[in-house]
Structure 1
Amino acid sequence: MSRTIFSLTFNVAGKPVSWSPSPAALLLSLAALLALLIAPWWLAPHLISANHYQQQVAAAKQVQQQQRDALVKLRSQMHEQISLMAEHIGTLQAKSSQLDRVSQLLVQKSDIEQSEFQVATTANLQSMDSAGGPLSAAPASNSDDIQQMLSQLDQLIEQYDDKQRQLDLLSVLLQQQDVEDASWLSGRPIGEGWLSSGFGARKDPFTGKKASHWGVDFAGHAGSDVYTTAAGVVTYAGKRWGYGNLVEVSHGGGYTTRYGHNSKIYVAIGDVVTKGDVIAAMGSTGRSTGPHVHYEVLKNGKQVDPSPFIFR
């Protein structure tokens, strides 16, 4: 006969029902209840630990992705810089070839014997694989390509040093033969128009105050042709403060001419021009009050009065 510790009576459908658990059943019930109470406290640390590790993994993945994105961006920037370097090398090679042509033309015009001045030796020409044209701007794919470009840059530097020595020699030969390039300077830089402002002191057209005018102005119709007054090489073609669109031509012997305020420029740096070539269109760019050509003559870098050259 089993012992009962207590008895519970329930009213079910109007009839009394008694429940008297045995000690064993009561112990099992208490154990189950205790397990339910203890389980959350026992599982919580494990759940929290797992969640913490997941957060660490997610953070590590994010950092890894950021680093990968940074590497991709760096690679793209290096790719772009290498492409620009290759393009710049090509431009330098083209300019080098252009300098050769300019030197040869100057030798021909000065009647100097080719035996006295060799513009480019066969060895010079063979030292550059692509001396006849620009280097392809295809992107470098490895360190060998970069090393090749650095080697080409070194060769270009040597080639420009050679050209500098050759041009120095040409200058000496021209002086020895009494080739006076300044004598080529003559006439006006325009076909139609009038002298609107002379050389020297004048009133500034903007401020009305006394100022120095380092050239002469020829006014005319906008868009009319601007001519070079002597043969030479274009040393500047572009915008410059005060001058607007400016063309500068070197004639040798220390003489240079400038043509300012143009609306358009038809030549580029390195172009060889002869007397009377159209180099620009008259305009009013820069510090100007109307369509005209600001014309300067420089001797050894210093402006001189152009009048003796204009009217001779």
Structure 2
Amino acid sequence: MSLIEVKKATVRPFNPIAWGCGFVCVLLSVSVVLNVYQWQAQTKEREHVAVSLQKVKAEYQQHNTDVVNLRAKTQDHLLAYQMKLAQLQGEVNRLAALGEKLAEVASIPENEYDMLQSVAQGGPATEDIASSQWVALDVFKEIDQIDLALASQAHKMSLLESVLMNHHIEESSQISGKPVTQGWLSSYFGVRKDPFSGEPAMHKGLDFAGIEGDAVITTGAGVVTWASERSGYGNLVEIDHGQGVATRYGHNRTILVKVGDVVEKGQAIAELGNTGRSTGAHVHYELLNNGEATNPLRTVYRTSAN
């Protein structure tokens, strides 16, 4: 029978110094790791802050540049506006002088027309404006004043035009002469063979043929009541001469007047054309009395009172 020898395990006694040193080493290691991590985190945060500051700085510089450019452009625009305002003011003064001269030439009494009358203005008192805003607002104020002045001058010129018409319309409203400066009478008033259908048809005017683009002129002074395309007539101009008398000028290539214009005898109102129901360049000329077409031939060779 064999015997098993059992050795007794030896237990070392507890060494507090060794354990203490080990614990301190672990704490130091953890502290180092934490410090390194914190340092890296702070470094990244500083880098992020630095990048953000660079972006903010770049944006600020860009905004500052934009403000400088905007201020420069605004000053340039204000200068341009001021120069334009000076030109407009010159135009207002020129219109005033012209109106005064026309009134003098037309022997219009001063109590009928006062071109130099100042524009009425007013309004409640307002607070003082800061000097930094004054330049721009002053320009706007001048624009408003010139706008009022131009509106006033336009109204006065219309009054002058009406007065001049009342003074002189009777002298030049008598219908006479041809509606062209050059050309020939190509078709008469009355029943004729229609150039399109070949059937007999009433022709309510005279046709004056010529070269396309030649001047079409008025045969009497009056007011334009139609200046656009009209069925059959092509581009048509119609003029009211007063007392129920009107004239029409059809088939024009180009119209040179607009509705409401006051025209003089012999004034070019259109260019000879071939628009509408037409076979060639000519002007279809009509004379109407109270809306009824009459033969204008008797007026074509009438001697003008002027």
Q: Under a length normalisation based on structure 2, what TM-score does the superposition of the two structures give?
A: 0.51
Q: CA deviation at 1:80?
A: 6.8
CA distances 1:158-191 after superposition (whole Å, capped 9, x unpaired): 62574377468x37x98xxxx5976x32454345
Change (3 A) 1:201 1:224: same
Alignment match, 1:39: 39
2:184 to 189, 193, 212: 193
2:286 to 296, 301, 308: 296
AA at the equivalent of 2:42: W
Q: SS of the residue aligned with 1:273? A: coil
Q: CA deviation at 1:41?
A: 1.4
AA at the equivalent of 1:259: Y
CA contact (8 A) 1:257 1:297 kept: yes
Which stretches in structure 1 are left out of the alignment for 5+ residues?
Answer: 6-23, 108-113, 130-139
2-structure distance, mates of 1:215, 1:257: 10
Alignment match, 2:126: none
CA contact (8 A) 2:184 2:209 kept: yes
Q: SS of the residue aligned with 1:290? A: coil
1-structure distance, mates of 2:276, 2:85: 32
CA contact (8 A) 1:188 1:310 kept: yes
Q: SS of the residue aligned with 2:114? A: helix
Q: SS of the residue aligned with 1:185? A: coil
1:149 to 146, 151, 154: 146
Q: CA deviation at 1:257?
A: 2.5
Alignment match, 1:240: 228
1-structure distance, mates of 2:275, 2:93: 30
Q: Does 1:229 align with 2:224?
A: no
Q: Does 1:124 align with 2:114?
A: yes
Aligned length: 260
Alignment match, 2:273: 283
Alignment match, 1:273: 265
Larger radius of gyration: 2
Alignment match, 1:257: 247
CA distances 1:96-153 after superposition (whole Å, capped 9, x unpaired): 947984x888x7xxxxxx5xxx255597244379xxxxxxxxxx97245224314413
Q: SS of the residue aligned with 1:241? A: strand
2-structure distance, mates of 1:195, 1:95: 47
AA at the equivalent of 1:272: E
Q: Does 1:305 align with 2:290?
A: no
2-structure distance, mates of 1:100, 1:250: 28
Change (3 A) 1:195 1:67: farther
Q: Under a length normalisation based on structure 1, what TM-score does the superposition of the two structures give?
A: 0.50
1-structure distance, mates of 2:262, 2:82: 27
2-structure distance, mates of 1:266, 1:87: 26
2-structure distance, mates of 1:81, 1:259: 46
2-structure distance, mates of 1:161, 1:258: 25
Mapping of residues 51-90 of structure 1, within 5 Å: 51-56=51-56, 58-59=58-59, 72=73, 76=77, 83=84, 90=91
Change (3 A) 1:254 1:95: farther
CA contact (8 A) 1:187 1:310 kept: yes
2-structure distance, mates of 1:227, 1:123: 31
Q: Give the root-mean-square deviation of aligned CA atoms.
A: 6.1
Q: SS of the residue aligned with 2:274? A: coil
Q: SS of the residue aligned with 1:152? A: helix
Q: Does 1:49 align with 2:39?
A: no
